[in-house]
Amino acid sequence: MEALDHIETQLLTANDVELAGTLLRVGDLVAIPTETVYGLGANGLAADAMDRIYAAKGRPSDNPLILHVCDQSMVHRLVKHISPLEQRLMDTFWPGPLTITFEKSALVPERATGGLSRVALRCPDHEVCREMIRIAGVPIAAPSANLSGRPSPTTAEAVLHDMKGRIHGIVDAGPCEIGVESTVVQVEGDTVIILRPGGVTKKMLEMVADHVVYDTALHDPTEAPKAPGMKYRHYAPDMPVQVLVGQSLTVAEHMKDIIDKMVQQEAILQEDCKETLRIGLLLSEETLENLNAVLPNFTLSVDIIVYGEQAEPMALANRLYDSLLQFNDMGVDTLLVEGCAPVGLGVAVMNRLEKASGGHVQFV
């Protein structure tokens, strides 16, 4: 295996799918575009290739991976059986942001499952990605293409920041359409259990299944999670994060109060903190307008990213990870984020924000 930080990383485009597919087939690491986030791809049937994923990301090897397939025909040799409900889920939501866990066949290495008996499979809704998988001829293991614990990348530039010199290639196919990872589900009888919320909502799943529930591990930290990407700290930028959820004016007033307290605390330690304390704000258009009316009148470095209208969780989902990375680059000392109602896609957004903030979420 080549030493990390000494690999020449090729910058590829959507026109280089033949080369990318070949690199994946022989066991090299290639960052691949999907509709959710960029994935760090490797041959999902080769244990040594998946070891390279864990090494490049600094990811614990007991954290399972998602195997990506180009179509349903790839699934049958990877699983022991497919239930009628699992088949309906594939027929309805594939290609798309839904990952389904199946009882794995003997063909799937334990490296792909983190030692679990089930394998997570997804068919991405991205033509370039599916063509690379088809050319590779094997399922592609692909967690998010970032260093473990950091925000997931939604652009090739963000991948390059974390992975230059650590992987063999990055396929740039533009920004990801959705911006948060796939929904992960497990079928038990006639019930669909949501192990990780994502791009396919509970309401959408209820169109296919009579019984849809959230896994209890989502709300019980003492219970072992069953889904990829849920076992360890994830999605976190370098600075402390606080999340506020509520009506726009109320969120703006709470942001003002928090900023006031920060400045007062800093003033005890430093006479002129107003020029050094740097605060990041990720918020909606409405809340920015309200905040402009209540923000204290002093010289303070405030970096602001507006994600769109408050009532549109898709806008926040699409901008979330890229915004967290931008605030990292800005060097802000602390970050205040306006969250959204945990309904529909908002469930997935708030799940990621809860992890990014270490649980510092306040409904106001």
CATH number for 142: 3.90.870.10
User: 282 lies in a domain?
Assistant: yes
Report pLDDT for 88: 98
User: 236 lies in a domain?
Assistant: no
Same domain, yes or no: 167 and 252 = no
Report pLDDT for 285: 96
Is pLDDT at 227 greater than 90 in this prediction?
no
User: 144 lies in a domain?
Assistant: yes
Same domain, yes or no: 67 and 160 = yes
The whole domain housing 32 covers 10-218
pLDDT tens-digit map of 88-121: 999 999 999 999 999 999 999 999 998 999 999 9
Helix (H, G, I), strand (E, B) or coil at 231: coil
User: 32 lies in a domain?
Assistant: yes
pLDDT tens-digit map of 166-216: 999 999 999 999 999 999 999 999 999 999 999 999 999 999 999 999 999
Q: How large is the average pLDDT for residues 124-135?
A: 98
| Edge-to-edge strand list for the sheet holding 183-188 | 10-13, 169-172, 30-32, 39-43, 140-141, 66-68, 118-122, 98-103, 183-188, 191-196, 211-214
Q: How large is the average pLDDT for residues 131-156?
A: 96
Same domain, yes or no: 110 and 24 = yes
Same domain, yes or no: 247 and 298 = yes
User: 230 lies in a domain?
Assistant: no
C-alpha 9/C-alpha 326 separation (Å) is: 23
Check if the beta carbon of residue 40 is closer than 8 Å to that of residue 143.
yes
Q: How large is the average pLDDT for residues 343-352?
A: 95
Report pLDDT for 275: 55
Same domain, yes or no: 198 and 264 = no
Is pLDDT at 338 greater than 60 in this prediction?
yes
- What 215-222 contacts at long range (C-beta under 8 Å, 24+ apart), as own/partner pairs, is 215/186, 218/194, 218/351
Same domain, yes or no: 196 and 339 = no
Q: How large is the average pLDDT for residues 234-259?
A: 92
User: 223 lies in a domain?
Assistant: no
User: 336 lies in a domain?
Assistant: yes
C-alpha 16/C-alpha 272 separation (Å) is: 54
Q: Pairing relation of β-strands 183-188 and 98-103? A: parallel
Give residues with Cβ within 8 angstroms of 309, minimum separation 6: 284, 285, 286, 315
Helix (H, G, I), strand (E, B) or coil at 308: coil
Report pLDDT for 293: 83
Report pLDDT for 300: 61
| Nearest C-alpha neighbor of 34 from the set 122, 129, 120, 123 | 129
Residues 228, 230, 232, 233: is their CA dihedral positive or negative? positive
Same domain, yes or no: 184 and 329 = no
**What pairs with residue 104 in β-bridges?**
79
Is pLDDT at 272 greater than 60 in this prediction?
no
Structure tokens at 311: 């009532």
Question: 15 vs 4, 33, 178, CA distance in Å?
Answer: 27, 13, 22
Tell me the CATH number at 295: 3.40.50.11030
Cα 302 from chain centroid (whole Å): 26
Question: 305 vs 10, 242, 327, CA distance in Å?
Answer: 31, 15, 9
Same domain, yes or no: 98 and 41 = yes
User: 107 lies in a domain?
Assistant: yes
Same domain, yes or no: 134 and 248 = no
For the ranges 60-69, 146-155, 259-268, the lowest mean pLDDT is seen at: 259-268
Residue at a domain's end among 186, 218, 250: 218
Same domain, yes or no: 194 and 278 = no
Total structural domains within the chain: 2
Report pLDDT for 361: 97
pLDDT tens-digit map of 16-45: 999 999 999 999 999 999 999 999 999 999
